Amino acid sequence: MAHKQTRRSVIIRDAIERAGNEHEIFFLLAAYVEAVRCGDQLNLLPWQMRDLPLAGTDDIKMRLHSLQLSLQRIASDVGNKDHCLIEEAITVYQAVLRRAAQIHSEDGPPRPAQSGEVRSLPGG
């Protein structure tokens, strides 16, 4: 079972790392969260792994921090089945934050419009 979870984590992480924009990143993350929710029919996993909506990178940072604390709490409980799932979510959330930061650094900060300059909208 852990092998499947690890493979799933690698697949979603790879897709996130190839995402072209923040919208794609959060679409993939929402799909991951929905898959986790469907698999957690008894609501035993932490809410940070299964609750939607997602509210941007600050929300992801908060969820990641909470999951890291949860993992520390159960680290000594070797029989805890949630351990692998929480590790998987941490890996996915870290990939989201890393890719979002890369996209923002590639785009650079928005440049203020110069006097008289007309800018087209993206895609226009």
Q: 3-state SS of 41-74?
A: CCCCCCHHHHCCCCCHHHHHHHHHHHHHHHHHHH
Local confidence band at 99 (pLDDT 50, 70, 90 cut-offs): very high
Q: Does residue 42 have a pLDDT over 80?
A: yes
34, pLDDT greater than 70: yes
Buried b (16+ CB within 10 A) or exposed e, 18-39: ebeebeebbebbeebbeebeee
Mean pLDDT of 68-96: 89
Between 42 and 77, the higher pLDDT residue: 42
Contact call for residues 53 and 34 (beta carbons, < 8 A): no
Task: Please count the other Cβ atoms lying within 10 Å of the Cβ belonging to residue 16.
Answer: 24
